[in-house]
A = this chain, B = another copy of it.
Amino acid sequence: MKYPKALENLIKSFQLYPGIGPKTAERLAFYTFLELKDEEVADFSANLLRIKKELKHCSNCGVITDRETCEICTDSDRENKLLVVEGTKDVNVFEKIGHYYGKYHVLNGLISPLNGVGPDDINIQNILKRVDDEKIEEIIVATSATIEGEMTALYIKNSLENKNIKVYRIGYGLPAGGDIEYADEMTLIKALEGRKEL
């Protein structure tokens, strides 16, 4: 005996996601049938369709949006700075803090030769165009502190060499509340390099 076709199909759909194995997918499909209300399932179904219909990448900065050009790109009050990040989630993280008033540039990936991702596979070339068009005065590259993140930051710095513009890398070091004892070697090296006068 197998489960009814409809149940098997839903289990397969859940398994499309990374981190959801057969057991979890089964649990989620059962929960859908046994515990969720009809309206909740109908909404879930509709929300899935809407996401592919309504969302796109902002034609200017690359963030996920439901407009042609996103709210931030069309906001004339923003400072002429670019915070370059890997994905849309990072934009959200910085916007939540409310300490940065410039614009963003979302790469939607990082350069990774091992995975066959080159500079042309991510949203990197448009930075140069934006620097001119939007009179950008400062760029902060806030990619993560991994090999791919460093490589991407370096590539961006090099491609902006001929422009008269400040390019920064976001600061690295001990996280707030971080304990020296438990910090890893690379974090400590970065923290020493990033020392500030008291």
**Chain B residues whose C-beta falls within 8 Å of the C-beta of A18 in the assembled complex:** 31
B13 touches A32 (CB 8 A): no
B49 touches A45 (CB 8 A): yes
User: Closest residue of chain B to A28, judged by CB?
Assistant: B17
Which of B6, B50, B55 is in CB contact (< 8 Å) with A54? B6
A88 within 8 Å of B (CB atoms):
yes
A1 touches B92 (CB 8 A): yes
A52 within 8 Å of B (CB atoms):
yes
**Chain B residues whose C-beta falls within 8 Å of the C-beta of A72 in the assembled complex:** 1
- Chain B nearest CB from A10 CB (Å) reads 4
Q: Mark A76-109, 1 if CB is under 8 A from B, else 0.
A: 0000000000011101100100000000000010
Complex Cα spacing A18 to B35, Å: 10
Q: Mark A43-56, 1 if CB is under 8 A from B, else 0.
A: 11111111111110
**Would you call the interface of chain A mostly helix, strand, loop, or mixed?**
helix
A26 touches B66 (CB 8 A): no
A121 within 8 Å of B (CB atoms):
no
A192 within 8 Å of B (CB atoms):
no
Complex Cα spacing A42 to B52, Å: 9
**Chain B residues whose C-beta falls within 8 Å of the C-beta of A111 in the assembled complex:** none
B4 touches A66 (CB 8 A): yes
User: Closest residue of chain B to A43, judged by CB?
Assistant: B13
B64 touches A33 (CB 8 A): yes
A3 within 8 Å of B (CB atoms):
yes
A48 touches B44 (CB 8 A): yes
B16 touches A51 (CB 8 A): no
Interface residues of A in 1-28 (CB under 8 A from B): 1-7, 9-10, 12-13, 16-19, 24, 26-28
Complex Cα spacing A43 to B11, Å: 12
User: Closest residue of chain B to A75, judged by CB?
Assistant: B1
A47 touches B4 (CB 8 A): no
Complex Cα spacing A110 to B157, Å: 63
